[in-house]
Amino acid sequence: MSFATDASSFEISLDPRRIDIDAVHAFLRTSYWAQAIPREIVAKSVANSLCVGAFSGGTQIGFARLVTDCATFGYLADVYVLSEHRGQGIAKRMLTTLMAHPDVQGLRRLMLVTRDAQRLYAECGFTALAAPDRHMEKTDPEIYRRAVKS
Ligand SMILES: CC(C)(COP(=O)(O)OP(=O)(O)OC[C@H]1O[C@@H](n2cnc3c(N)ncnc32)[C@H](O)[C@@H]1OP(=O)(O)O)[C@@H](O)C(=O)NCCC(=O)NCCS
């Protein structure tokens, strides 16, 4: 699907073959949530997720993925748009396209974690946790940095 704004034109695609692993890795390895992530982990996560890409002039400028069983649950992750392309509705287009994927209709729960982009996700129907005390997590934030050292 192609879109045009006052500033530029871009394409949104759900085709996994179009995802540029090098481009996604280049962004994610410097992101606040996946610093130092190895390329092979990015490739594996892309291969095992439903992905959406945004492209301008054939270059990947945005990405998001949904980790899902395609039946009940999905976890939205790794959403980004390159800084020079922000503020044109590209992230919103990527997310609405991903959520409209035929394989993820009727899911009972979608989740995500964000530091500061709550407003973006609110526009896609996400809300703050209704019952935070019922949610738990198990994380290992240093795992990628340890992998680099060893
Ligand atoms: C967050 C990000 C993906 C948004 O991309 P974008 O293409 O600029 O977003 P859009 O233009 O589609 O914005 C859609 C709406 O979300 C809002 N929004 C976008 N980024 C936001 C942010 N960081 N914080 C709060 N609201 C944001 C916009 O104001 C806009 O609202 P509007 O429709 O009322 O104007 C982009 O800023 C980014 O890549 N940031 C760095 C990586 C990151 O933080 N990703 C999110 C991890 S959870």
Please give the structure tokens belonging to residue 99: 């959520």
- The per-residue pLDDT for range 5-43, each reduced to its tens digit, is 666 799 999 999 999 999 999 999 999 999 999 999 999
Domain membership of residue 111 as a residue range: 2-149
Q: Which residues line ligand 1 (CB under 6 A)?
A: 79-81, 86-92, 114, 116-117, 119-120, 123
CB 67 within 8 A of CB 74: yes
Beta strands in 19-108 (DSSP E): 50-56, 59-68, 73-81
Rounded to 5 degrees, φ, ψ at 110 are -120, 140
HSE of 57, CA atoms in CB hemisphere, 13 A: 2
What is the domain-level CATH number for residue 81? 3.40.630.30
Residue closest via CA to ligand 1's atom 9 equals 91
Q: Which numbered atom of ligand 1 lies nearest the CA of 86?
A: 8
Number of Cβ within 10 Å of residue 46's Cβ equals 20
Count: domains in the chain: 1
Quick: pLDDT tens for 94-121. Answer: 999 999 999 999 999 999 999 999 999 9
pTM above 0.85, yes or no: yes
Structure tokens at 102: 């035929």
